Structure 1
Amino acid sequence: MLAALVERWRPETHTFVLPIGEVTVTLEDVAHIFGLPIDREPVSGWTDSSSEFVQSQGIAIFGRKPSVSHNAKSYIKLGWVRCIRDAEPLDTEESIKRYIRCQIFYLLGSTLLTDKSTAYAHAKYLPLLRVFDRIHTYSWGSVCLTHLYRTLCRASRYDTKEMDVPLNLLFVWA
C-alpha cells in the first residue's frame, strides 16, 4: 500500500493522484489522527549541529550527556533516551519533567518525525523542549505534516531506493 501511494505522489502539488481524483493529508487529518496542535507557534529556530551544542542541550533536557550517532553527531540514539526515561525515579517535579521531555523526544523520533533508521532523532528539537511550560505552545502537527510531505517528495524520486516516510500517519490516514 505504501509503495502504491508513493508512486502516486506528486511533489508539485503535494497530492496523491488516484482514480477518484487528487487527495492529500491535511493539517486537520494530522490533528485528528495524532491529536497534535496545528494552530500554535511555528516549530522553528536556529539549528546548531556541533557536538558542543548537542551535549549542552542534552544535559539541559536529559540531565546527562546524550549518546549520539557516530555517523552524524547531531542525531541522538532513541534507545538511550528510552533508557534515561525508564530510569527516572519520578520523585521530584524536575524528574517528572525530565521523564516527560524524554517521552516527547522519543515520540518525535520514533513516531512523528521518523527517519530511515528509526533509531535516532535529530537534536534540533531539543531547544524546543528546554522550557517546559512552552512545549505545548508549538504547532507540532504542522511540523509533522511538513515532514510527511518532505519525505514523500524524497521517496517519489526515481533514484530513491529506501523510504523514510512516517508510516503511522500515512497508514492511519489511508
Structure 2
Amino acid sequence: MIRGFHPLLAALVERWRPETHTFVLPVGEVTVTLEDVTHIFGLPIDGEPVSGWTDSSSDFVQSQSMAIFGRQPMLNRNSKSYIKLGWVRSIRDEEPLDTEESIRRYVRCQIFCLLGSTLFTDKSTAYAHAKYLPLLRNFERIHTYSWGSACLAHIYRALCRASRYDTKEMDGPLNLLFVWA
C-alpha cells in the first residue's frame, strides 16, 4: 500500500460495484478503461492475450527460471509457484551486459520485476507468480501481448475481491488506480 492513500482506496472500494465493474459516485458511474491503462502505464491493449497453461510444479519453475534468468531459484515449500523479486533483482544487478544474451536476460529480469511489483502485484509485493515466465521466454514476442488488458482485468478482480465484507487488504495495480482517481 502506498503511504497516505488508504482513505482514497477505502472510499473507492466502498463505491465499487462488482456487478457492473464501476464506481458509483455522486456524479454517476465511472470506471477504469483500457484507454486509461494505455495512457497511464503505456501498455499495449491490442495483441495476444496474456494467458496460458500454468504448471506450479517446482520442476516447471526451475526449468523456466533457468531459461529466462540463467539460474534456478531457491523455492519455498509454501510458495513454490512464486519467485522472490529480490532474487530476480540481484540477478539483474549482477548481469555484465557484455553480450546480447546478457542484455536480454537483464531486460527479462526487469520486465518480470515490473510484472510482480507494479502490474500484477500480490499483497506482499515481494513475489511474482511463475506463470508469467513462459511469456518472457521468446524475447521477440514479449511486446506482442496485450499487457494492458491483463492489467485491467487484474485491477477489476482485485476490486471485486476487496469489496467483499470480510476483506481487509487489497492487491493489484494500485498505482494505476491512484493515478486514475
- Fold in common (TM above 0.5): yes
TM-score (norm 2): 0.94
Q: Does the 8 Å contact 1:69/1:77 carry over to 2?
A: no
Aligned to 2:34: 27
Deviates more, 1:60-69 or 1:134-143: 60-69
Deviates more, 1:47-56 or 1:67-76: 67-76
Structure 2: gaps of 5 or more residues: 1-7
Distance across 2 between alignment mates of 1:69 and 1:78: 13
2:146 maps to a residue whose letter is S
Q: What does the per-residue CA deviation read over 1:15-69, in whole Å, with 9 as the maximum and x for residues that have no partner? A: 0000000000000000000000001111111110000000000000000002334
Distance 1:28 1:67, change over 3 A: farther
1:19-168 pair list within 5 angstroms:
19-168=26-175
Aligned to 1:16: 23
Structure 1: gaps of 5 or more residues: none
What percent identity do the matched residue pairs reach? 85
Q: CA deviation at 1:70?
A: 4.0
Deviates more, 1:60-69 or 1:74-83: 60-69
| Local SS of the residue matching 1:164 | coil
Distance across 1 between alignment mates of 2:61 and 2:38: 30
Q: What does the per-residue CA deviation read over 1:49-99, in whole Å, with 9 as the maximum and x for residues that have no partner? A: 000000000000000002334421000000000100000000000000000
1:33 maps to a residue whose letter is I
Distance across 1 between alignment mates of 2:78 and 2:86: 16
Q: CA RMSD in A?
A: 0.8
Q: Does the 8 Å contact 2:119/2:172 carry over to 1?
A: no
TM-score (norm 1): 0.98
